[in-house]
Amino acid sequence: MYPTLPDILLTNGAKQQITADCMALVEQELDAKSGVSAAALKIAYKAVTAFAPGYYQSTVEKLVPRMLDRLQPFWADFQAEGGGRFGDYLVNRGGEVSEALLTVTDGMARGSNRGVVVKAYNAVREGAGKHIEAALPSLGGLVEKYAA
């Protein structure tokens, strides 16, 4: 067990493994979505992944440490409460967790000079919270996989 979530990244190769699992989680969540909002999300995803080879992966690699930092207070509280499943804990705090994670992506979008990516992000930002909340059970499982 690691003292903090960001400490997970100290293990050799952990960042690359977590990045790959995060990318797989995003693809799994996208595949499960349907409807108009899902179409916009899938178009934005395609724009970002097609923008430049390796861009999406390098972005996720940058997001991982920042997301772990934002999840750390929730993880500490979860552990203080005595455990259970972290995904369930996150679901019970869905709005708060999604907003914490969105501060990371919002910051990256503000600092980006890639207009296509920023445009794609802005197109889906309004509904992003509900998509994050839907993924929280899987995200919690992913965190537990590496934090244990």
Report which residue type is found at 43: I
Residue 55 reports pLDDT greater than 80: yes
Q: Which residues contact 55 (CB under 8 A, 6 or more apart)?
A: 48, 49, 114, 117
Of 24-28, 114-118, 126-130, 140-144, which range is least confident?
114-118
Higher-pLDDT residue of 37 and 91 is 91
| SS3 call for 3 | coil
- Structural domain of residue 121, as residue ranges? 5-147
Task: Please give the radius of gyration of the chain, using alpha carbons only, rounded to the nearest integer.
Answer: 15
Q: Which whole number is the average pLDDT over 50-65?
A: 87
User: What is the number of structural domains in the chain?
Assistant: 1
Supply φ then ψ for residue 112, to 5 degrees.
-85, 145
Rounded to two decimals, the pTM is 0.89
What is the rounded CA–CA span in Å between residue 142 and residue 85? 11
Work out the pLDDT band at 61, boundaries 50, 70, 90. very high
Q: Which whole number is the average pLDDT over 130-140?
A: 95
